[in-house]
Structure 1
């Protein structure tokens, strides 16, 4: 669908293809989250989710300058085609070679490691509550709270992600290629934030606090970066890096918390519901951000305040989710 996007000839065709892209992409997230749950016990899961989601900043570090370079000599159609071909050349071969649903299905896992993983996860599932069916997913207040948190985060993240190149170009007054290189820097910060916040969350077991901390850093840094503006360009770019780092660093603790909300038998449906409805915020953020920028005569301040408010509100709502992992004084996790 990404490649086909480069060949559309009308607005209606573009909407259709982008919708189909979303349908194809939507199933990937919950499927991999469930698969990671088969590989890592609860005490390692926040960091595991965080490390996996580092794929987003890594891809952005590569494609930000690449996209700027392609657009410097061609157009958006060529951009879609070239970058849409990458999964066929890189992702698909690696997936078929390495991916396995469970440790018992992977030939490259040692017997000792396989037994440790499966014993730890079996012990967790032995004490887990039973679910009668997917109806329990829709009845769960915790699942709906997580939907709201994810929806608010996606408003802020996608708004920031879409408008960040415009903001950088406004601040630096540089061309596409230079903006692409600078735009890669925030994703370096995001990669570190994902790993570090996931590691801390696994040690503390207090997922809500780690989601809130990431949202607080993102919201404050985003507004501050716009207020600083041209006066201190280096400081402004640093603040943008912190904003993007915080806007992604929530991921590991958030999905670790989500993975505790439902029994394994219906977990895929719960994660899929959170992902599907929460991602609707990805439409709201860029749309409202663009409207506010137009209404303010091109100023990004009102957009930044709106996106920051959504991120901060998401962090506050997360405190209502009772999904933290308890750690007793003896170091045992539950």
Structure 2
């Protein structure tokens, strides 16, 4: 009898311990609090890192306003240099992401950020078109894997049904980079021009590269590679997060060969959608300062301040639309409508090329539409890819889309040299937005609405 009581007590004690080790797996309210804590721990820091990355990638758009005259570059030369970044990005992106899946996010992201910061500062040494092209290529090679690496990293923490809003919040770093970077770049270029024997655009490259190196060192201290490495989570919280991630793995493609992945029609379809998304975004990123200046705005600081307005609209749009997409678990129409709105805004911006206020208003509509599509897009392939296939698939999709980021700036520069106007370039970008809407419409609803 005593043995029976002891066994019962032991069983009860074990049950109590098990209850403490593994939480109630149906606690939706608790999930919200847990994921909120994880998001606050990871997302703000990752956003700051991506702001630094995006600023160092696209600040050449502001440098152009002084650089072309100083170095006697043509618009086509600038467009080629702006775009050639993505050739290096394309070649090194998949290996970088696969390596990250093996060695972890901390080492990979730190290496990427420190290296690109050094190369970005070296842009100040540019004197010839060849040097410009080489440094832009090296910058792309250095940064390869950063953005898709972050997307992959978020799949280690957040299940598909929560990922749309999380990626959207993270992706607000893009418009925030322009909101902060536009006025900052304009101020540096005006205030530091001819200081210490350097032009304003040279100082801009040097000053804006410093945060990347500092943040790269901080990554080693502040990031955890996986849920299991997080000292700031209890064992119970880790179990909950791991359970939610494991519960959706049965619906995903895992550990397939790269060749099989590239033959997967779903992956190819996603790559084409991403190509259209990046085409419209890259045009906005590299050419908005030039479009605003062409309306008659003279001061570089004023150009920077006006550039911030479309990006503020994009931040609001991204958060609201992606939050609603996660709430109703619908992806397709939440991308189709913004694609159409973005393309329409790009076309309308050409009709008001002599009116700064109306041109900025139309660019704001374009940004609010086009920028929403980027975070929402990544909720599509990550709904059916997992593990090594996610590492290779995300990088492969993004690398292919990088070709759009190479082609679009160069095409717009070529068009402007040929026509003397950016209007046809905006039509070119709008076409990709409309094609993107059609391609999203063709995605099977059951594949991505989770």
| TM norm. shorter chain > 0.5 | yes
For 1:69-108, what aligned pairs fall within 5 Å after superposition? 69-72=187-190, 73-74=192-193, 75=199, 76-89=201-214, 91-108=215-232
Q: TM-score, normalised by structure 1?
A: 0.90
How big is the shift at 1:93?
4.5
* CA spacing shift, 1:13–1:124, aligned 2, 3 Å: same
Helix, strand or coil: the match of 1:39? coil
Tell whether the 8 Å contact from 1:2 to 1:80 is kept in structure 2 after alignment: yes
For residues 302 and 105 of structure 1, what CA distance do their matches in structure 2 show?
Answer: 51
Q: Deviations over 1:61-83 (max 9, x none)?
A: 11111111111142322211111
For the 8 Å contact 1:142–1:322, the answer to whether it is kept is no
* Mapped partners of 1:110, 1:174: distance in 2: 56
- Note if 1:199 corresponds to 2:323: yes
* Corresponding residue for residue 29 of structure 2: none
Matched, 1:148 2:266: no
Distance in 1, Cα, partners of 2:169 & 2:399: 22
Q: Pick from 407, 413, 416 the counterpart of residue 290 of structure 1.
A: 413
- Do the aligned residues in 2 keep the contact of 1:205 with 1:324 (CA within 8 Å)? no
Residues 78-113 of structure 1, C-alpha deviation per residue, up to 9 Å, x if partnerless?
211111111123x22542333222222122234454
1-structure distance, mates of 2:445, 2:228: 29
- 1:228 paired with 2:346, answer no
Q: Give the one of 393, 402, 405 matched to 1:270.
A: 393
Counterpart check, 1:29 vs 2:147 = yes
- Secondary structure at the aligned position of 1:191 is classed as helix
Is residue 2:280 matched to residue 1:280?
no
Is 1:134 the counterpart of 2:252 in the alignment? Answer: no
Distance in 1, Cα, partners of 2:384 & 2:372: 20
1:292 CA drift (Å)? 2.2
In the alignment, the residues of structure 2 paired with residue 81 and residue 226 of structure 1 have an alpha-carbon distance, to the nearest angstrom, of 34
Following superposition of structure 1 onto structure 2, how do residues 58-77 of structure 1 map, counting pairs within 5 Å? 58-72=176-190, 73-74=192-193, 75=199, 76-77=201-202
Q: Equivalent residue for 1:330?
A: none
Q: What TM-score do the two structures reach when normalised by structure 2?
A: 0.68
Deviations 1:262-284 (CA, angstroms, capped at 9, x unpaired): 23231110011011111111121
Identify which of 292, 303, 324 aligns with 1:168.
Answer: 292
In structure 2, the gaps of 5 or more residues are 1-118, 194-198
Kept in 1, the 8 Å contact 2:178–2:311? The answer is yes
Distance in 2 of aligned mates of 1:53 and 1:29: 10
Residue 243 of structure 1: aligned partner: 366
> Residue 280 of structure 1 aligns to a residue in which SS?
helix
- CA displacement at 1:124 relative to structure 2: 0.7
Give the number of the structure whose alpha-carbon radius of gyration is greater. Answer: 2
Preserved contact between residue 261 and residue 323 of structure 1 (Cα < 8 Å): no
Confirm whether residue 119 of structure 1 aligns to residue 237 of structure 2: no
Aligned partners of 2:256 and 2:389 also within 8 Å: no
1: CA distance, partners of 2:250 / 2:225: 20
Partner residue, 1:212: 336
Residue-pair matches, total: 325
Quote the Cα distance in structure 1 between the aligned partners of 2:351 and 2:126: 39
SS of aligned partner of 2:368: helix
Q: CA RMSD in A?
A: 2.0
- Alpha carbons 1:258, 1:323 under 8 Å: kept: no
Find the counterpart in structure 1 of residue 125 from structure 2.
7
